[in-house]
Amino acid sequence: MSDFYLLWRNLFRRKLRTFLMILAIFVAFVIYGVLGSINYAFEHGVDSSADNRLVVVNKITFIQPLPYAYVGKIAAIKGVKNVTFANWFGGYYQDARNQIGTFAVDPESYLRIYRDDLRIDPAQRDAFIHDRTSMVVGEAIATKYGWKVGDRIPINSNIFTNKANGSHTWELTVAGIAYAAKESFNTSFIIFQYENFNESKTFGKDTVGWITLETDSAAVNDTVAATIDDLFANSTAETNTQSEKAFGKAFLAQLGNIALIITLVVGAAFATILMIVGNTMVMAVRERTKEIAVLKTLGFPSWRIWRQVLGESVLLALLGGLPGLAVAGLLVMVLSKGASGAIPGLALTLPVAGLGVAFMLLLGVVTGFLPAWNALRLNIVTALGRL
């Protein structure tokens, strides 16, 4: 028999009560693990953007287009190294529920700007540049639908109509497959030729969704951004230029402040278990006042009893929390498969898991502190009443 055995027996003295507490902690850590991972993936996905990339959008809202002519004007500005642009297509495959992030781009300049983020076979890259009706498919999408180079795929738009056939469908050939060069880069996309798109769409001709550019260095970002916005001030389409990082964050902010929501949900879950477990631990230890007094009478030093009570609450937190994190890890795996890379880098990462374990220890210490202190201070004579 060891102190741990005593602790274990005490913890499972009332099986149902302990089971319910473990369940509450388990649920809280499943919530934490899943939401924490999503939050982490979002923050780090955004962080993977290069420091010297700027995004130019319409000042009114980034959904409003910009004139195509802006691309050339921006390219001429001092400090701008590369320029490309993209157009939102509202693409889906077969069923409107199978949404795919589809962009009409200028192949050559687009792939140049994302050269450090995307990996593509040079021959496939050339094929894409030269075939007007081709597309490059991100790895996540290619894997999800099993598309191979050479396949002809009908891609639908929920915005545009194809002049050529009067339908919403564009038939595109898979010229290549793009892989993420950085793990956190989202490969859940399709890019196809802007030229093809611009000529076949029925409205919004010679406009682009947004312009992405690369500056000579991050140091000139602010100057370049100011120059661009000044240049188009008082025109019909005023611009707003910001770093890609800030753009990504602003984009997420449009979806609702995810980090805040996650913090609130996780915070509420933790506050609840803190109260439930804290209160139950105080009661559980109060119930054994006499037993603790007997242990002290037998000669168990106070610190050892203190350690036992604290150990009990920490063990409780771990028994609920570790399986909770493990299940969260599984859920996140399933989720990241199901979302086919919609949230790039979605996984229960070491920082999230590590913080989770730290939370468990903290939970254990916080809920065990008061009862452990009570046990430490317990006076034998008063507790026993009589010997």
Ligand X SMILES: Nc1ncnc2c1ncn2[C@@H]1O[C@H](COP(=O)(O)OP(=O)(O)OP(=O)(O)O)[C@@H](O)[C@H]1O
Instruction: In whole angstroms, give the CA distance from residue 184 to residue 159.
Output: 29
15 binds Mg ion (CB under 5 A): no
Size of the site for ligand X (CB under 6 A): 3
Q: Which is nearer to Mg ion, 15 or 386 (CB)?
A: 386
Q: How many separate helices (H) and strands (E) can be counted in the chain? A: 14, 13
Query: Considering CB distances under 5 to 8 angstroms, the limit depending on partner class, which of ligand X, other proteins, Mg ion, none binds residue 297?
Result: other proteins
Q: Which is nearer to ligand X, 153 or 384 (CB)?
A: 384
381 binds ligand X (CB under 6 A): yes
205 binds Mg ion (CB under 5 A): no
Query: Which residues, 6+ apart, have CB-to-CB distance to 22 below 8 Å?
Result: 316, 319, 320
Q: Which is nearer to other proteins, 1 or 76 (CB)?
A: 1
Residue 312 β-bridge partners = none
Q: Which is nearer to ligand X, 2 or 379 (CB)?
A: 379
Instruction: Give the interface segment with ligand X, choosing from 109-117, 217-225, 358-366, 378-386 (CB under 6 A).
Output: 378-386
Cβ(54)–Cβ(74) below 8 Å = no
2 binds ligand X (CB under 6 A): no
386 binds ligand X (CB under 6 A): yes
Instruction: Give the interface segment with ligand X, choosing from 44-52, 143-151, 206-214, 379-387 (CB under 6 A).
Output: 379-387
Q: In which residue are the tokens 């959008």 written?
A: 57
- Tell me the residue nearest to Mg ion as measured from the CB: 386
Q: Which is nearer to ligand X, 283 or 380 (CB)?
A: 380
Q: Which is nearer to ligand X, 61 or 382 (CB)?
A: 382
Instruction: In whole angstroms, give the CA distance from residue 362 to residue 317.
Output: 9
Using CB under 8 A, list all residues that contact other proteins: 1-3, 5-6, 9-10, 13, 290-291, 294-302, 380-381, 384, 386-387
Residue 333 Cα to chain centre, angstroms: 13
Residue span 348-387 as binding mask against Mg ion, x where in contact by CB under 5 A, dash where not: --------------------------------------x-
Question: Segment 63-92, which members bind ligand X (CB under 6 A)?
Answer: none
Provide the 8-state DSSP code for 219: G
- C-alpha pair distances (Å), 311 with each of 56, 278, 316, 368: 56, 14, 8, 8
- In whole angstroms, the minimum distance from the beta carbon of 379 to ligand X comes to 8
382 binds ligand X (CB under 6 A): yes
Query: Considering CB distances under 5 to 8 angstroms, the limit depending on partner class, which of Mg ion, other proteins, ligand X, none binds residue 275?
Result: none
Q: Give per-residue burial for 37-71: e unless 16+ CB within 10 Å, then b.
A: bbbbbbbbbbebbbebbbbbbbbeebeebbebebb
- Tell me the residue nearest to ligand X as measured from the CB: 381
Backbone angles phi, psi at 229, to 5 degrees: -65, -35
Instruction: In whole angstroms, give the CA distance from residue 12 to residue 309.
Output: 13
Q: Which is nearer to other proteins, 78 or 386 (CB)?
A: 386
Query: Considering CB distances under 5 to 8 angstroms, the limit depending on partner class, which of ligand X, Mg ion, other proteins, none binds residue 382?
Result: ligand X
Structural tokens at position 322: 């570790």
Q: Which is nearer to other proteins, 149 or 384 (CB)?
A: 384
Backbone angles phi, psi at 209, to 5 degrees: -75, -50
Per DSSP, the residues of 71-136 read HHHHHTSTTEEEEEEEEE--EESSSTTSEEEEEEE-HHHHHHHTTTTEE--HHHHHHHHH-TTEEE
Residues that bind ligand X (CB under 6 A): 381-382, 386
Residues that bind Mg ion (CB under 5 A): 386
